[in-house]
Each structure stands twice: as structure tokens, then as C-alpha cells.
Amino acid sequence: MRLLNCKALGESLESCSIKELDQVEQLLERSLNSIRARKEKKLMKENTRLRKKFEMLPLQLSINLPTVRPPAQAMEVETALFIGPPTTTTNGRI
């Protein structure tokens, strides 16, 4: 059993044949599948528990929404607008 554990941990693999390495790989795959199934079962239970817990509580927002600032006062700016052909000066420039 100890030798099998060492091989499962990746130790003492140099002396293993291809068949032994295949066996170790299959064992590890079965172990991983078992671990993943157990993990999924626990996560599903936890998910169900949390859903029940929070469905019973009243809705409470825990985030702080930013406050809306009033718009800054509009500033009046006077501009000159002329529509038409440009006027020329005495030296011919616009």
C-alpha cells in the first residue's frame, strides 16, 4: 500500500513499467472523479442552503450607490457669429 501511495504521489516511478504507469494513471483518474463528485455535491448543498437563507431575508442593497450631483450652474458666454463672405483688409488679407 505504501508503494502505491508513493507512486500516486509521483515518487519512485522510474522503475515502473508502462502497464504499472497505466494502472497508476487509472487510479488517479478514478480518485479525481471521486473528489470532483464529492466537491460538486458539497457545492450544490451549500448553494441550496444559501438560496434558502437569502430568499427569506428582505431585499437589502449592500452597495453604496454614488450620489447624483446637481449640474453646475450654466455660465453665459457671449460669442460673435458672422455668416457671410469674409471681409478683406487693405493689404488683401482676411
Convert the pLDDT of each residue in 10-22 to its tens digit. Answer: 777 888 889 988 8
In angstroms, how far is CA 78 from the centroid of its own chain? Answer: 51
pTM for this model (two decimals): 0.48
The whole-number pLDDT of residue 35 equals: 95
- Whether 44 is covered by a domain: the verdict is yes
Q: How many domains does the chain have?
A: 1
- CA 4, CA 16: separation in Å to the nearest integer? 11
The domain containing residue 28 runs over which residues?
2-56
The whole-number pLDDT of residue 71 equals: 61
The whole-number pLDDT of residue 52 equals: 86
- Whether 70 is covered by a domain: the verdict is no
26 closest CA partner among 8, 5, 6? 8
- CA 11, CA 89: separation in Å to the nearest integer? 95
Contact, 53 vs 44, CB < 8 A? no
Residues of the chain with pLDDT under 50: none
